[in-house]
Amino acid sequence: MDSENNNGKGIRLWTFFTTFFRIGLFTIGGGYAMIPLIGAEVVDKHKWLGKEDFLDLLAVSQTVPGVFAINMSINIGYRLRKMGGAIACAVGTALPSFVIILLIALFFQQFENNAIVEAIFKGIRPAVVALIAAPCIRLARTAGITLSNVWIPLGAVMLIWIFKVSPVYIILTICVCGFIYARFIKPQE
């Protein structure tokens, strides 16, 4: 179902806030770990956006400066209910983290050198990697990544990771290559 069919006008801003508050509250690992939860809520459960619209908003959210999860929530909220939706979704996403960090800051020195707390954080790290990898694989399928073109994202990862190439240059290069392909090569196929 495209967002044009379910444009969000009948959805209360409180629903946006509580949906994104729950996502922000129960997601460990940052913005990328939120992708499957946001997708499950926005695309699968509420059907506020279609998969293609979600993927487009995901791409836009990654290209603008700022915190990814906040960018994503603002884009979704704005798409569905303009400024009110953007604010409700952004505040819902950010508020849990703000409160948790505030509480941690108040009590951090008491637990800073605690072996149990350190062990908990070491145990969370592998789970966070899995939380980030799972949506990447799902998004790759939605974006049409196959064995014939998987070299593009893998090459970009290698350039960033091994050769320390700025992601800005990679994005610009891929945009130019995509334009050339769409304008000159694909029409001839």
Q: Average of pLDDT values for 114-130?
A: 83
Burial classification of residue 128, based on how many CB atoms lie within 10 Å of its CB (0-12 exposed, 13-18 middle, 19 or more buried): middle
pLDDT score of 123 more than 50: yes
Q: Average of pLDDT values for 151-167?
A: 92
Q: Average of pLDDT values for 93-101?
A: 91
Look at residue 4 in the predicted model and tell me its pLDDT: 41
**Secondary structure class of 62 (helix, strand, coil):** helix
Higher pLDDT pick, 140 / 78: 78
Please give the backbone phi and psi of residue 165, each rounded to the nearest 5 degrees, phi first.
-75, 135
Whole-prediction pTM value?
0.64
Angle (deg, nearest 10), helices 151-161 and 167-180: 150
For the chain, domain boundaries: 13-144, 146-189
Confidence category of residue 180, pLDDT binned at 50, 70, 90 = very high
